[in-house]
Amino acid sequence: MTVGDFATRPQLSEDVARLVRRRIFDGSYAAGGYIRLEQLAAELGISVTPVREALFDLRAEGLLAQQPRRGFVVLPVTRRDIADVSDVQAHIGGELAARAAASITAEQLAEVKAIQTRLEAAYDGDDDDLVVRLNHDFHRAINVAADSPKLAQLMSQITRYAPEAVFPTVAGWPAKSIRDHRRVLAALAKGDEKQARKAMSEHLCEGAEPLIEHLIDRGVIAE
């Protein structure tokens, strides 16, 4: 998504929050720096209201802090933060995958397979936004198939902190992600709850270390 797209988007605050998250995790917004409401609103060509809503949401997520008369300051991202989020994702995501294996329909399985096919093709292209969206769709389709809305909601909340947009640029991750997703798909196709839980948990947990190293290299995480 480009900056010029914002004025025509219906879910402005969500889009602004997504943009700010990306800038935090790619190092554009450094820890200790301030984000100015009016400045960001002017850059995006929108009013300050959705920008304010987005920054309040990011404050609730622990990415920003609000300081009286100074605005919103970017908080440091730490190795522990990333590892903790990954551990929680692995536990909840594994359970959702296991439940999906027990209840997924033929139509739902076909949908997940189709998404994965498009995702693998997208990895061969040069559209990171498409990769991120399709990867999100892959996991969301499995979570829907699990038929556990409260657990899926928790997964959605914790995933907001995970820098999904960064993963396509992490060295070696695309190939590993493809292998992991295929393992999950194989378990779903067999209805193997134990293997689905294991494959998904390992996939989500093992992303932490390469992501941390990637963020250290770019100065987002201080060693």
Q: In the CATH hierarchy, which fold is given to the domain comprising 79-217? A: Four Helix Bundle (Hemerythrin (Met), subunit A) (1.20.120)
Q: What is the average per-residue pLDDT within 48-76?
A: 92
Count of other CB atoms within 10 angstroms of residue 19: 21
CB 199 within 8 A of CB 178: no
Residue ranges of the domains in the chain? 3-74, 79-217
pLDDT tens column, 87-124: 999 999 999 999 999 999 999 999 999 999 999 999 98
Beta strands in the chain (DSSP E): 34-35, 64-67, 71-74
Q: Does domain 3-74 have CATH number 1.10.10.10?
A: yes
- Partners of 67 in the beta sheet? 71
Which 8-state DSSP code applies to residue 30? -
Confidence band for 6, pLDDT divided at 50, 70 and 90: low
Mean pLDDT in residue range 147-157: 93
pLDDT of 159 strictly over 60: yes
pLDDT of residue 4 exceeding 70: no
pLDDT tens digits, residue range 198-217? Answer: 999 999 998 889 889 988 98
Model-level pTM? 0.83
Q: Would the CA dihedral through 136, 138, 143, 149 be positive or negative?
A: positive
